[in-house]
A = this chain, B = another copy of it.
């Protein structure tokens, strides 16, 4: 698996944890060793890891927890840091997201997420295997 494939796999793990409402996987994905941040749509920034994890626990356990699907992720690697820009397809509409990961040993751990609504038109899925690679 190439570095970029591993990065996209970490990104896919985030969306699978979200869709499956799997808090263990979500919590494990977020870095314990590097400073994290999270910008949920409409919220103020969260910086404390425990606040970030609590926010996801609240979102994933809510009765109205949304189904979500990542579409067209594009990965950019900068040595041990990776950013993934993607669309998020929800029943309520389309969002765009910035996800940042840091390599810790052999794993990519999440250090930042920002998601926000977009009025962009839904793109055509470029690759069923996990999106295009830059």
Contacts and interface: CB of A to CB of B under 8 A. Distances in A.
Interface of A is mostly: strand
Interface in A74-128: 74, 76, 78-81, 83, 85, 87, 96, 98, 100, 102, 111-112, 114, 116-121, 123
A47 B35 contact: no
Interface in A6-48: 34-35, 37, 39, 41-45, 47
Interface in A52-91: 74, 76, 78-81, 83, 85, 87
Contacts of A39: 85, 96, 98, 116, 118
Contact of A47 (B80, B85, B118, B120): B85
State the copy count for this chain.
Answer: 2
Bin the interface of chain A by size: 20 to 34
Contact of A118 (B44, B83, B102): B44
A41 B116 CA distance: 8
Contacts of A111: 76, 78, 83
Interface of A: 34-35, 37, 39, 41-45, 47, 74, 76, 78-81, 83, 85, 87, 96, 98, 100, 102, 111-112, 114, 116-121, 123, 134
